[in-house]
Structure 1
Amino acid sequence: MQVHREAAAHDRAFARAGRELTSARIATTGEDAAWDDLVQATGRAHILQTKGWAHAKALTGWRAERYVLGGGGVAQVLIRPLRFGLVFAYCPRGPLATGPLADAIAALRVALARYCCVALLCDPEVPDSADLLRAVGHAGARLAPVYVQPRRTLLLNAQIDPDLLLAAMRKKTRQYIRKAERAGVMTEETDDLARFHRLLRVVGERDRFAVHSLEYLERLREGLGDRLHVLMARIGSEDVGALMLARMGERAWELYGGWSGTHAEERPFYLLKWRAIQRMRALGVERYDMWGLSDPPRSGEALPRGQVLDLVASRLGLRARGTVDPLAGVTEFKLGFGGDVVTWMGALEVPVRRLLYPLWQLAGRRRLARSAA
């Protein structure tokens, strides 16, 4: 009982502090209508914070709430019902804080406390910094034992001159791109999601990972519109590679894709990725995000049972089979294109209702984290 009283007192003090530091209020009708513009205005825009992404996630049981934070920050929070009237909250690649991240997390925790919300999971793109981790710790956040989005990624400057981009690649990568061109591999952009989905299912069945439904991809296109791009590679009439990308502002992200496993000698996926980079460059994209690399554990930290590796592999449709690290091959493939390896802090978990938090720890934390991907 003493522990419970102390936790309740901490929550009341935290709520007062949150109101003093900053605020998080539900977006007005007008703000909701212009949500993606607000996301862009933060200077930290991410496709997972757009209305279009939430539109697709609604198909899998997630409801979006959009918050405007003090100082111009924003946060799209996905809410998932649990049993007994409880809910879980996930803020993908957010909050997009324009001030201290700890203040934004504190404000969201206060706002979500009006529900029977057991916990908030968030994974903002912030540096992997011990000082920052201590700061968000004062807001009740700590590193989560689960991951939804990858902690490490590869960012490539797509606006560099193409010849310089090629020169910065590994020699083998350049050779394979040229080999695919000589072999007659054709690439094209398409609106045919069924065609894309057919190839993705082939990859999923081969490498044994779950693939989103065609309906989910259609909802993603409904939500993102012309910001969603699908590129295919083929040899003759046979589709051998597929890649889906989304863009927002000066950044683009690889979402889903894969290689059919046929015509390995022609190296079709190397050319497809190169053509995707060129296409995004033509659309004004500067930062091309390859979405995820192998994530070695922090010092003294055990690898989280392959969680991040499995999730990223399923997102990309690629897997290095028979290795300890299932993303080893994928990582080597990506690194061949050059660019900068970036490491974010990772997922943060925030108890919202401390008395209910043990239920979250025991009843589905990992399952729900997977469903949020």
Structure 2
Amino acid sequence: MSYSEPARPAVRNAHHRGSGTGGARLTVGPISAAEHLAFVRAQRSVSFLQTPAWGQVKTEWRSESLGWHDGRRLVGAGLVLHRPIPRLDRFTLAYLPEGPVIDWTGDIDAWLDPLAAHLKTHGAFAIRLGPPVRTHTWSAAQVKEGIVAPDTKRLTDVSCQWADPVGARVIGQLEDAGWLPQSPEDGFGVGHPQFKYEIPLAGRTEDDLLKGMNQLWRRNIKRSAKEGVEVTVGEDLKAFHDLYVHTAERDRFTPRPLRYFETMFAALRAEDPERIRLYQAHHQGDLVAATLLVRVGAHAWYSYGASSTEKREVRGSNACQWAMIRDSLAAGCDTYDLRGITPTLYADDPHVGLIQFKVGTGGQAVRYVGEWDLPL
């Protein structure tokens, strides 16, 4: 990466007054994986990218768990992935994807300054993080209106349903502290997406969720059941990967190797047997769709998906999605997360089909603060 702006002056002392900690000074230092996992389990929602197990999945990075302490009490945690500079292994980019797990509602300098001081001392040349903080939410109806409006090119051109003042405040504080926004124009980049599509589950029933979907989604779910599509939770990662590679060739993206998914399954399941599931949709013995669901606390994610080109009319992908949504609801989740979308809405955009597929679920488009870098 490169930086066109000068780095901020040296970070302040690594001990600062905490936000929401009664005025106590926070310290940052390494914690064990067990301490980290216990902290994650005590939260209502934490990104799976901020679990200790995720460090074992990203084998090309060195990982460590850091904790924020108020005295002896652990009040925050983060998984840091370190990537060394070629030929300068002593220096690393320190990356906290969709984290850290701290109190973002108050003075964030009290949390991020000691983090920067610690990482700089241990050889980081820059920090990248992605606060799990929303800024804007658009209803499914608003997204649909934006797609059909001839003069609307981006989601941000559409009036939003809700703007989060916490998100606006976090952006302001990051800018004031010298952090640099890394969000690409189309919403996708080398990191994780700033725009996502989510289905709220809290307080809703299966009937509520079906009523919220568009007619096409409801018809496809009924069609899959009528055609006899059977969705099961399985273990056959090789069959999933074969179908995933087929999907990659059809849709022109680069697939991950089978070994990646084997590592992901082993690491996440070792941390929690219910952390990850493979859903497989079969029609008359043929695998027609397969998806991966990840869950941490009350948040569930559609992580990967694959579908066959043949037998698309039996709607195996819709059947898998509906099974995952129902299971997430039954598990007491607040959110079913369909992951990234682009903010571009014009008809010629190659990603608009993905937005249309997800908006049919009746959920909501959500903009997050995005990823930010601090040169050290």
Structure 1 and Structure 2 fold alike (TM over 0.5): yes
In structure 2, what residue type is equivalent to 1:220?
M
> Are the counterparts in 2 of residues 151 and 295 from structure 1 also a CA contact under 8 Å?
no
Distance (whole Å) between structure 2 residues aligned to residue 324 and residue 103 of structure 1: 45
- Please tell me whether the aligned partners of residues 120 and 349 of structure 1 are also in contact (alpha carbons under 8 angstroms): yes
> Could you tell me whether the CA contact under 8 Å between 1:63 and 1:78 is conserved in 2?
yes
Alignment partners' CA distance in 2, 1:195 and 1:144: 37
Pairs within 5 Å for 1:270-349: 270-296=318-344, 324-349=348-373
**How far is the alpha carbon of 1:140 from its aligned partner?**
2.3
2:266 to 205, 214, 222: 222
Q: CA deviation at 1:165?
A: 1.0
By how many angstroms is 1:70 displaced?
A: 4.0
The reply on whether 1:69 has 2:113 as its aligned counterpart is no
How far the C-alpha of 1:335 sits from its partner, in A, is: 0.8
Deviation of the 1:51 alpha carbon: 1.5
Cα distance change on mapping 1:324 and 1:88 into 2, 3 Å: farther
Q: Secondary structure at the match of 2:63?
A: strand
Q: Which residue of 2 aligns with 1:315?
A: none
Contact 1:52 1:222 in 2 (8 A): no
Q: Deviations over 1:292-313 (max 9, x none)?
A: 122249xxxxxxxxxxxxxxxx
DSSP 3-state at the match of 2:255: coil
Q: Which amino acid aligns with 2:57?
A: A
**Counterpart in 2 of 1:149?**
192
| 1:339–1:65 CA distance, 2 compared to 1 (3 A) | same
Alpha-carbon distance between aligned partners in 1 of 2:236 and 2:332, rounded to the nearest angstrom? 24
The offset of 1:43, in angstroms, is: 4.2
Instruction: Specify the SS of the correspondent of 1:97.
Output: coil
Q: How many residues align?
A: 315
Could you tell me which runs of 5 or more consecutive residues in structure 1 were left unpaired when the two chains were aligned. 1-5, 298-321, 353-373
| CA–CA distance in structure 2, aligned partners of residues 234 and 162 of structure 1 | 23
1:132 paired residue number:
170
Q: Which residue of 2 aligns with 1:245?
A: 293
What is the deviation of 1:26?
2.7
Cα distance per residue 1:75-126 (max 9 Å; x no partner): 1110011122321111011011125334322222111101332211111211
Paired amino acid for 2:67: V
Match of 1:367 in 2: none
Q: Cα deviation per residue 1:30-65 (whole Å; 9 max; x = unaligned)? A: xx323222123344411111112111112xx11111
Q: Structure 1 residue 170: deviation in Å?
A: 0.6
Q: How does 1:197-236 map to 2 (within 5 A)?
A: 197-225=241-269, 226=273, 227-236=275-284
* Equivalent residue runs for 1:109-128 within 5 Å: 109-128=116-135
State the 1:239 CA deviation: 1.0
Residues 1:80 and 2:83 aligned together: yes
Whole-angstrom CA distance in 1 between matches of 2:369 and 2:183: 13
Q: Aligned AA for 2:369?
A: M
Aligned residue number for residue 318 of structure 1:
none
Counterpart Cα distance in 1 of 2:201 and 2:255: 28
Asked if the contact 1:42/1:97 (under 8 Å) is kept, the reply is no
Counterpart CA distance in 2 for 1:345 and 1:282 is 30
Please state if 1:19 is matched with 2:22.
no
CA distance in 1, matches of 2:249, 2:17: 50
1:262 maps to amino acid: E
The secondary structure found in structure 1 opposite 2:333 is coil
The match for 1:52 is 53
Contact 2:45 2:296 in 1 (8 A): no
Residue from 160, 163, 166 that aligns with 2:210: 166
Which amino acid is 1:101 matched to? I
Amino acid at match of 1:185: V
Deviation string, structure 1 residues 230-249 (Cα, Å, up to 9, x no partner): 00112112111111011011
What is the distance in 1 between the residues matched to 2:226 and 2:234?
23
More strand by share: 2
Question: Which residue matches 1:311?
Answer: none
Displacement of 1:152: 1.6
Distance 1:269 1:153 in 2: 19
**Cα offset, 1:267, TM superposition:** 2.0
Asked if 1:38 corresponds to 2:39, the answer is yes
Q: CA RMSD in A?
A: 2.2
Alignment TM-score, normalising by the size of structure 2: 0.78
Distance 1:276 1:28 in 2: 34
Distance in 1 between the 2:15 and 2:178 partners? 15
1:102–1:242 distance in 2 versus 1, CA, 3 Å = farther
Uncovered stretches (5+) of structure 2, i.e. residues with no partner: 1-5, 19-25, 136-166
Structure 2 CA distance for partners of 1:336 and 1:145, relative to 1, 3 Å = closer
The one-letter code sitting in structure 1 at the alignment partner of 2:56 is H
Residues 185 and 234 in structure 1, CA contact (< 8 A), matched pair in contact too: yes
Contact 1:144 1:348 in 2 (8 A): yes
C-alpha displacement of 1:132: 2.2
Which of 93, 97, 101 matches 1:92? Answer: 97
How many percent of aligned residue pairs carry the same amino acid? Answer: 27
Give how far 1:283 is off.
2.5
Q: Is the 8 A contact 2:129 2:373 kept in 1?
A: yes
Q: Name whichever of 224-233 and 67-76 sits farther off.
A: 67-76
